[in-house]
């Protein structure tokens, strides 16, 4: 399916890790883009986006919008036919009140969708997560799986509720717009700015030697460039309406991640952790660190992530997690999130 390049594609949460990569590929392919930011006055927060594809910066514009302020989404969607709704909170730890993350995710998604219907948007791609699929489920995870809410920590619950709310709204407004959902795993790969994202912080901590070891955790892995590509392919596909796409290159143990980083970066003097922590030690540390406490129930569990639909229907060809981690490491050094020891 071809879409018009005369009007911009709206990308929400423009300064985020994934959204910035989506904007980059859209500009590279001659699409016009309107990115939403919280404050137009704080240009220093989003100016890096104009430098992603400098020769196409004239095709990039910005609109001010906040997930919890429905008034501004109508203006942001003015003249828009296609929307990639990427914005969603992703905390480093579970908040004391889970509604601090659930409310922005659910209400924000509905605010965007309502504005889209009001302005006659034709198609929307919503970014969800494998977090909406795996909680309480073991073995092979597919697009048919949904997390069991009572087994979800706050972040996973926010993704589950936000995605369910999106599908309910789509069904209630049947025929008014097309929608597909992309469910990526743990996103790694090139970083364009220091934004404080969870995956960015984790890999930077590994390279900076800020953690003494890693838990026995396995995670679905996917390159940020592939997630961006999957969004565009889903937007362009005439078959994608009403579908979810599990976006994953496979699984990887945290110990395997640090091994990749150690083999690539230890020669420069980076001290990547090699120790692995079990459940008992993590429970003890979790008393003091809520990030660690969240990981305890997942210790030792490895799932299979079925990406067949994205491969066969969208033509995805995934970058290996190893390459993604290496590329991410060098990009973190380039932007200054990790001290540059490569030139010494």
Q: Which positions are catalytic? A: 159
112 touches 73 (CB < 8 A): yes
Q: Which string of DSSP letters, residue by residue, matches 263-323? A: HHHGGGT-----EEE-HHHHHHHHTT-HHHHHHGGGTT---EE--HHHHHHH---PPPHHH
Closest CA to 241 of 175, 190, 191: 175
> What end-to-end distance do the CA atoms of the chain give, in Å?
50
Cα(138)–Cα(262) distance, rounded to whole angstroms?
Answer: 30
Pairing state between β 250-253 and 218-223:
antiparallel
Neighbours of 336 (CB within 10 A): 10
234 touches 311 (CB < 8 A): no
């Amino acid at each position: 399916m071809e879409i018009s390049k005369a009007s911009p594609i709206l990308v929400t949460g423009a300064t985020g890790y994934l959204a910035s990569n989506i904007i980059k590929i859209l500009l590279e392919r001659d699409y016009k883009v309107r990115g939403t930011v919280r404050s137009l006055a704080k240009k220093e927060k989003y100016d890096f986006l104009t430098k992603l594809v400098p020769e196409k910066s004239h095709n990039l514009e910005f609109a001010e919008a906040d997930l919890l302020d429905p008034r501004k989404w109508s203006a942001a969607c003015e003249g828009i036919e296609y929307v990639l709704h990427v914005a969603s909170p992703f905390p480093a730890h579970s908040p004391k009140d889970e509604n601090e993350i659930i409310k922005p995710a659910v209400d924000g998604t509905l605010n965007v969708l309502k504005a889209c219907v009001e302005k006659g948007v034709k198609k929307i791609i919503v970014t969800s997560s494998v977090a909406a699929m795996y909680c309480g489920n073991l073995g092979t995870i597919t697009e048919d799986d949904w997390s069991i809410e009572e087994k979800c920590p706050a972040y996973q619950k926010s993704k589950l509720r936000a995605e369910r709310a999106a599908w309910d709204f789509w069904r209630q407004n049947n025929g008014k717009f097309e929608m597909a959902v992309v469910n990526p795993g743990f996103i790694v790969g090139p970083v364009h700015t220091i934004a404080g994202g969870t995956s960015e912080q984790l890999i930077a901590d590994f390279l900076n030697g800020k953690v003494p070891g890693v838990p026995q955790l396995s995670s679905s892995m996917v390159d940020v460039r592939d997630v961006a590509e999957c969004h565009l392919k889903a937007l362009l596909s005439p078959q994608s309406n009403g579908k979810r796409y599990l976006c994953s290159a496979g699984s990887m143990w945290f110990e395997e991640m640090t091994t990749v980083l150690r083999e690539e970066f230890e020669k420069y003097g980076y001290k990547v952790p090699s120790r692995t922590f079990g459940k008992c030690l993590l429970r003890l540390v979790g008393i003091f660190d809520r990030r660690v406490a969240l990981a305890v129930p997942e210790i030792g569990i490895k799932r299979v992530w079925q990406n067949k639909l994205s491969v066969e229907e969208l033509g995805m060809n995934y970058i290996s997690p190893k390459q993604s981690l290496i590329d991410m490491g060098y990009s973190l050094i380039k932007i200054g999130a990790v001290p540059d020891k490569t030139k010494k």
